[in-house]
């Protein structure tokens, strides 16, 4: 068990910042933001990427000292993502992807408008010595061969293979055009002996699992059928492959984010391809469970197949033997169990909110079943559990209400955790100025209990304060009373702290259709384009703030991004009498337009007979009552919500004489890739609310 305050106490001594100057958003975002760590399969080595004021670089550390060492030397806030890190099994090499997925025209994200453009490509660098990163190829999804002498890259033409080092010849089967069969093909895993490659071939309305015999250059399909097969995993001896199977797409069927579907767990003989079903879930156990975690199916060393499911109404992990039979529940409770990894000793390590539904903790349970054991302390936030080779160490990400997200390590046998990156915080990080949000609960008009975090300014106000409702995006997200493990919401947590430091009372709302509170809450009836039922929760949040004695109910605003932008626009369109101002970042304003597809706002699977209701559920059909001023922010390279959604809303509001302030971000995308963009957005939002709510 991690001692509850040891991490924080040590960090407070090392990191406490002087409070001579007022809090500024740049100070709150001065600490490097690390992504989840990755580990080598046969060495006690971890690696991660970190975003330090917009500059992204890769880092590595080795047990037992875990001294971080920077492997790359990028120096610009250029918005080029550094992702998909992979360590070779021996830990000697790190591969990574720099740049974002290209769009339909072949152009990658270029948020700083570099006249030379940008390209998504795979790079490789040695983890020891003074090596320089080397460009491997255009593409994504790097995968090392077990022997460490070859690297696969997923490119436009299929899967290619490249040598790892000029000093070591690649195997004879390693050719640049390794796999070019029909469909969109992604490499999944090498067999344990490195002689075969399992891959997934997405064919649109169906998908196959295939095995490529590398020496013979022959593809073997695993039980092909009229289904969508995915997530293949090898048994430890390489003789079997387990995979997930769900129904293929029916004519006229479109993906709906809110549905739940059955799925099946299958196992195949790797040599013959013959397969049989191990488990069929209930009718509402699948869908979200298969895309909410990175590896929804894993093969334990003892032959058990571990998979994610919502069988009991909560996202959890289960296992079944390779012989079939009864399914064993692993994670348990009225809680969500998220990302999970199998350790060599057979333990399943996962993060979830099982001991505090408002936060995230680390847990361990045997893949054969038994009692789950919490490894992290309360009320800390711990995610992305990663067992190292030999099961001596556990790496993870740690945060709390004040300490921002860091890479930490913990001895598996017990002992204290260490925050290794950053071990200390920048001098200008205002640690002592941060408030600890209060977790609150209240009920909507229909009786549903909703949750939130209340940020209350320090000190006594001379009069009543202005207040702001913050609504997250997704909507399958959950805000936490501490630094968030998601990059976008890490930035918004910083902004909520900044708003509180400037005298605003802020309520971060976890509205229905979000995660963390079970399947029924996430799949709330009549949500979004089918009735906007979650807007009741926004009204309940306003009522909660208005009832606080320190809040001036006439000076309550609202802001949020994406789905939160949609709810912000909804609030101003329907209730300008309640909400005095709003800041809408790239929100959906007309569900009828989103139903045409082309971006993520079309994921609700609207059918032609639902478009009338979708219109009534949209902010644009309630504009006649819109009176409150709006700040509208949107990047014009947004592939999640079309820029046209905001262009249309601005034109309509200006025709009606509504006060609209705008911040248009040329070439920036939905998730704001540049640090300079985040600073601009937050500063403009603060300035807007100061003028509108604190005159």
Which spans in 330-398 are helix H?
none
Output the six-digit token pair for 684.
């403009």
Measured between alpha carbons, how far is 137 from 284 in angstroms, rounded to an integer? 41
Q: Does domain 1-16+330-426 have CATH number 2.120.10.30?
A: yes
Q: Are 120 and 113 in contact (CB under 8 A)?
A: no
CB 660 within 8 A of CB 654: yes
337 close to 292: Cβ distance less than 8 angstroms: no
The radius of gyration computed from the CA coordinates of the chain, to the nearest angstrom, equals: 25
Structure tokens belonging to residue 171:
């195997």
Output the six-digit token pair for 257.
């984010």
* Third-level CATH fold of 32-180: Methylamine Dehydrogenase; Chain H (2.130.10)
Please state, in angstroms and rounded to a whole number, the distance separating the CA atoms of residues 480 and 491: 13
Cα separation, 359 vs 363, in Å, equals 13
What is residue 176's predicted lDDT score, i.e. its pLDDT? 94
d(CA 624, CA 660): 15
| pLDDT (0 to 100) of residue 42 | 96
Side-chain-facing half-sphere of 252: CA atoms under 13 Å: 2
pLDDT at residue number 459: 87
Q: Give one DSSP letter per residue of 78-102, joined into a string.
A: ----EEEEEE-TTSSEEEEEES---
State residue 468 phi and psi, 5-degree precision: -140, 135
Q: Which residues contact 559 (CB under 8 A, 6 or more apart)?
A: 468, 469, 470, 471, 568, 582, 583, 584, 585, 631, 685, 689
Instruction: Using the structure block, give the residue that is written with the tokens 């499911």.
Output: 309
pLDDT of 408 reads 98
Q: Residues 189, 232: contact at Cβ < 8 Å?
A: yes
pTM: 0.95
Torsion angle (degrees, nearest 10) of CA 49, 232, 254, 672: 0
d(CA 676, CA 78): 9
Residue-wise burial string across 219-251, b where 16 or more C-beta atoms lie within 10 A, e elsewhere: bbebbbeebbbbbbbbbeebebbbbbbbebeee
Residues of the chain with pLDDT under 50: 1-21
Q: Which two tokens stand for residue 315?
A: 């996202």
Pairing state between β 297-299 and 275-280:
unpaired
Rounded (10°) CA dihedral 554, 555, 560, 563: 10
86 Cβ neighbours under 8 A, 6+ residues apart = 38, 94, 95, 96, 142, 143, 144
Task: Say if 1-16+330-426 and 181-298+318-323 have the same CATH topology.
Answer: yes
3 state SS of 213: strand
Q: Which residues contact 597 (CB under 8 A, 6 or more apart)?
A: none
Q: Is 646 exposed, middle or buried (0-12, 13-18, 19+ CB in 10 A)?
A: buried
Helix axes 675-693, 487-501, angle to 10 degrees: 40
pLDDT number for residue 6 = 46
Helix (H, G, I), strand (E, B) or coil at 375: coil
680 burial level (CB within 10 Å; 0-12, 13-18, 19+): middle
Contact criterion met (CB below 8 Å) for 285 and 296: no
The reported pLDDT for the residue numbered 15 is: 39
Q: Which CATH architecture has domain 435-693?
A: 3-Layer(aba) Sandwich (3.40)
SS3 labels along 479-513: CCCCCCCCHHHHHHHHHHHHHHHCCCEEEEEECCC
Q: Left if phi > 0, otherwise alpha if psi is -120 to 50, otherwise beta: which for 434? A: beta
Q: What is the CATH number of domain 181-298+318-323?
A: 2.120.10.30
What whole-number distance in Å separates Cα of residue 382 and Cα of residue 360? 6
For residues 6 and 325, give the distance between their C-alpha atoms in angstroms, rounded to a whole number.
45
Q: Are the C-beta atoms of 248 and 206 separated by less than 8 Å?
A: yes
Q: SS3 for 120? A: coil
Q: By C-alpha distance, which of 301, 262, 266 is closest to 283?
A: 262
- The ranges assigned to domains in the chain are 1-16+330-426, 32-180, 181-298+318-323, 435-693
List the end-to-end C-alpha distance of the chain, in Å, as a whole number: 50
Q: How many CA atoms lie within 13 A of 212 on its CB side?
A: 26
Closest CA to 267 of 227, 228, 236, 239: 239
Query: According to the model, what pLDDT value does residue 462 have?
Result: 83
Provide the pLDDT for residue 19: 35
């Amino acid at each position: 068990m991690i001692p509850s305050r040891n991490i924080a106490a040590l960090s407070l001594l090392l990191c406490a910042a002087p409070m001579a100057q007022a809090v500024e958003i740049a100070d709150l975002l001065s600490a490097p933001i690390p992504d989840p760590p990755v580990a080598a399969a046969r060495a006690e080595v971890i690696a991660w990427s970190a975003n330090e004021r917009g500059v992204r670089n890769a880092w590595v550390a080795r047990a037992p000292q875990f001294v971080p060492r920077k492997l790359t030397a990028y120096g610009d806030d250029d918005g080029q993502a550094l992702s998909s890190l992979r360590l070779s099994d021996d830990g000697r090499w790190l591969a990574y992807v720099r740049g974002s997925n290209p769009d339909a025209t072949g152009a990658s994200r270029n948020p700083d408008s570099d006249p030379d453009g940008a390209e998504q490509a795979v790079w490789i660098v040695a983890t020891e010595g003074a090596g320089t990163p080397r460009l491997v190829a255009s593409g994504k999804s790097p995968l090392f061969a077990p022997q460490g002498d070859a690297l696969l890259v997923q490119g436009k033409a299929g899967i290619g293979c490249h040598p790892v080092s000029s000093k070591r010849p690649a195997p004879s089967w390693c050719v640049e055009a390794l796999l070019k069969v029909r469909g969109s093909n992604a490499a999944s895993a090498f067999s344990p002996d490195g002689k075969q490659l399992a891959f997934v071939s997405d064919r649109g309305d169906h998908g196959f699992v295939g095995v490529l015999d590398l020496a013979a250059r022959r593809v073997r399909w695993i039980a092909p059928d009229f289904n969508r097969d995915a997530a293949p995993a090898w048994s430890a001896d390489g003789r079997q492959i387990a995979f997930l199977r769900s129904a293929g797409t029916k004519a006229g069927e479109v993906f709906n984010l809110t549905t739940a579907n059955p799925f099946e767990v299958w196992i195949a003989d790797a040599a013959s391809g013959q397969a049989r079903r191990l488990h069929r879930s209930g009718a509402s156990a699948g869908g979200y469970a298969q895309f909410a975690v990175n590896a929804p199916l894993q093969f334990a060393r003892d032959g058990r197949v571990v998979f994610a499911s919502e069988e009991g109404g909560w996202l959890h992990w289960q296992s079944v033997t390779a012989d079939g039979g009864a399914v064993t529940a692993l994670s348990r409770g009225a809680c969500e169990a998220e990302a999970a990894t199998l350790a060599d000793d057979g333990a399943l390590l996962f993060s979830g909110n099982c001991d505090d539904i408002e936060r995230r903790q680390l847990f361990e349970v045997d893949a054969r079943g038994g009692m789950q054991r919490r490894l992290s302390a309360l009320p800390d936030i711990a995610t992305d559990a990663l067992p190292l080779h030999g099961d001596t160490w556990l790496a993870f990400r740690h945060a709390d209400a004040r300490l921002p997200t860091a890479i930490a390590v913990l001895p598996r046998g017990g002992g204290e955790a260490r925050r290794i990156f950053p071990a200390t915080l920048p001098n200008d990080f205002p640690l002592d100025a941060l408030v600890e949000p209060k977790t609150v609960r209240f009920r909507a008009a229909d009786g549903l209990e909703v949750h939130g975090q209340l940020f209350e300014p320090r000190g006594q106000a001379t009069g009543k304060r202005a207040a702001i409702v913050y609504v997250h995006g997704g909507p399958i997200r959950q805000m936490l009373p501490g630094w968030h493990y998601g990059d976008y919401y890490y930035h918004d947590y910083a902004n909520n702290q900044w708003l509180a430091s400037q005298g605003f009372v802020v309520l971060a709302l976890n509205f229905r259709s979000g995660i963390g509170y079970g399947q029924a809450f996430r799949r709330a009836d009549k949500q979004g384009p089918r009735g906007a039922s979650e807007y009741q929760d926004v009204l309940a949040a306003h009522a909660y703030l208005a009832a606080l004695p320190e809040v001036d109910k006439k000076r309550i605003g609202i802001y949020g991004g994406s789905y939160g932008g949609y709810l912000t626009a909804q609030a101003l369109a329907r209730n300008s009498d309640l909400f005095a101002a709003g800041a809408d970042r790239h929100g959906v304003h007309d569900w009828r337009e989103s139903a045409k597809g082309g971006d993520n706002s079309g994921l609700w699977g609207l059918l032609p007979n639902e478009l009338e209701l979708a219109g009534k559920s949209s902010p644009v059909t309630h504009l006649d009552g819109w009176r409150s001023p709006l700040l509208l922010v949107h990047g014009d390279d947004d592939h999640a919500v079309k820029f046209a959604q905001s262009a249309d809303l601005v034109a309509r509001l200006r025709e009606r004489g509504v006060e609209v302030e705008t911040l248009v971000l040329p070439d920036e995308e939905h998730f704001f890739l540049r640090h300079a963009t985040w600073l601009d957005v937050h500063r403009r939002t603060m300035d807007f609310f100061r003028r509108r709510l604190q005159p």
